[in-house]
Amino acid sequence: MTSTSGRLNDSVGVTPHRVYGATVATAGLGALALGLWLGGGLPGSGSSSILSQSALTAWGLPISRFAVDVAAFGTMGMLITCVLLPRSERGLSAAAHRCLRSAAGLALTWAAATAALLLFSWSDVTGLPIAALPLDQIIGGPQSSPDAVPFLVCSALAVIISTAAGVTQTRKGAVVLLVLTGYNLLPLTTTGHAEHSPAMAYALTVHVVALALWIGGLAGLLIHVRGSPLLAVAASRFGMMALGCYVAVAASGITLAWVNLRSAGDLWGTRYGLLLFFKTAGLLGVGLCGWWHRRRTVAAVARRRGTRPFVRLAAGEVVIMAATVAFGVALSRSPTPGTGTGDAHSHAAVVHPAQPRLL
């Protein structure tokens, strides 16, 4: 009975994978374009220096950044879902193995997206088209990229995570990969923050790691556990973790916004403040979804009253989260109040460390 259910879940999981992926991509890219337009960073918007760059770099930089975020968050989310799932008599459950396979694929995407992001960032800084970049000077040379080493290491480590996830058969192995994935997020949060206090780098690290566990973990439940009898236990465990992640995201986000905003009036008087408002609204929306999960849907799953309400609400939550992450990418390319220049030539404030990035 159990094995049959496991085979059924494997066989019916293909279509939802594609549907969820297409929906997340559509919502994320749409929110990214809207955010870039609102922030003045949309190619052709007239108020951004991005007009002087090639269209490939102008669009490739924010899109590759969004791809890095989605792949990295997805990798961590699949691994934490694997860890949260109860073990079967033979070790990892079928759902846990599916999570590991997804983590392997997402980590490989993470590696490729990071490499692309490095090239687009380098092109953005030097003003050279992608095809004209002197690759032999990427590490050492007059036109080298100052962040080539950490991002190349990040890409290589993502490949290692992908390979290891494909062969891991135990929960301990998944825990090790989870820690390694968290470590591999550091180049996205600490590189370029040398001119800020350590507290700023720590706040950004907490912000990103908490988002990755929260968003990715919910996606893992939605994709691989939605039709499994293990959903009740996994959802309950995830709910406790998600509450902690929400508090961490809110606290670190407030800290980062405090640094970038001169006054409360900047929230509605600047492009940066407008984008921050949209991102905050998204986080409040998913927080409301989480409250409803804890109040209704998780209890319904535990009482075997059906999983459809949980799945529908979780799917909407993931879409909102994807849009929120996209607004965060756009936010990083919008001028901070009073500076007149934004993070339009870097991702995660890598090239312009004077502006910490609020994901």
pTM, entire model: 0.83
**What's the pLDDT at 311?**
84
Token pair listed for 252: 């670190």
Say how far apart CA 96 and CA 224 lie, in whole Å.
Answer: 8
Structural domains in the chain, sorted by start:
24-332 (1.20.1630)
Whole-number pLDDT of residue 217:
93
Cα–Cα distance for residue pair 334/69, rounded to 1 Å: 18
88: helix, strand or coil = strand
Cβ within 8 Å of residue 194, ≥6 positions away = 353
Q: Could you list the pLDDT tens digit for every one of the 359 residues in the chain?
A: 344 333 333 333 445 667 777 888 898 999 999 888 887 777 655 444 444 457 788 888 899 999 999 999 999 999 999 999 988 777 888 999 999 999 999 999 999 999 999 999 888 888 888 888 888 778 877 777 777 888 999 999 999 999 999 999 999 999 999 999 999 998 878 765 444 567 777 888 899 999 999 999 999 999 998 878 888 888 888 988 988 999 999 898 888 877 777 666 667 777 878 888 888 888 888 888 888 877 778 777 777 777 788 888 888 888 999 998 998 888 877 777 755 544 433 333 333 333 334 45
